Amino acid sequence: AQTVTQSQPEMSVQEAETVTLSCTYDTSESDYYLFWYKQPPSRQMILVIRQEAYKQQNATENRFSVNFQKAAKSFSLKISDSQLGDAAMYFCAYRDSGGSNYKLTFGKGTLLTVNP
């Protein structure tokens, strides 16, 4: 079964600085998808970024970028120029393209605090 591990339960960053959130996953599949979701105190789940495993290029969305290391099964999220609004719980998630495609497997989350 696929598993997703976020080893940092909590992280903090100073406003305007850069922070990296870690995520590793375990799978025997070669084709899959990875996501980072943000959950602010409002409880809403917001897609931050998506990566397709067959693509070598790391995904970027404005201040958010990933470091996807397929061989190491690592998918870290980098937030540049951190803003107060980035404070949230961040979840890494995995979805394979095969028989278990019906579900997203989530990590336990990393709570990010942004200090002014």
Give contact residues for other proteins (rule: CB under 8 A): 4, 32-33, 35, 42-45, 47, 50, 52, 91, 95, 97, 101-104, 106-109
Least distance between other proteins and beta carbon 14 (Å): 27
Least distance between other proteins and beta carbon 35 (Å): 6
Distance CA 42, CA 26 (A): 30
Q: What tokens appear for 70 in the block?
A: 């397929």
Cβ distance to other proteins smaller for residue 41 or 116: 41
Q: What tokens appear for 75 in the block?
A: 């998918």
Least distance between other proteins and beta carbon 109 (Å): 6
Cβ distance to other proteins smaller for residue 78 or 111: 111
Phi then psi for 85, rounded to 5 degrees?
-70, -10
Cβ distance to other proteins smaller for residue 31 or 81: 31
Cα separation of the two ends of the chain? 41
Phi then psi for 13, rounded to 5 degrees?
-150, 150
Cβ distance to other proteins smaller for residue 76 or 109: 109
Distance CA 87, CA 68 (A): 23
Least distance between other proteins and beta carbon 116 (Å): 27
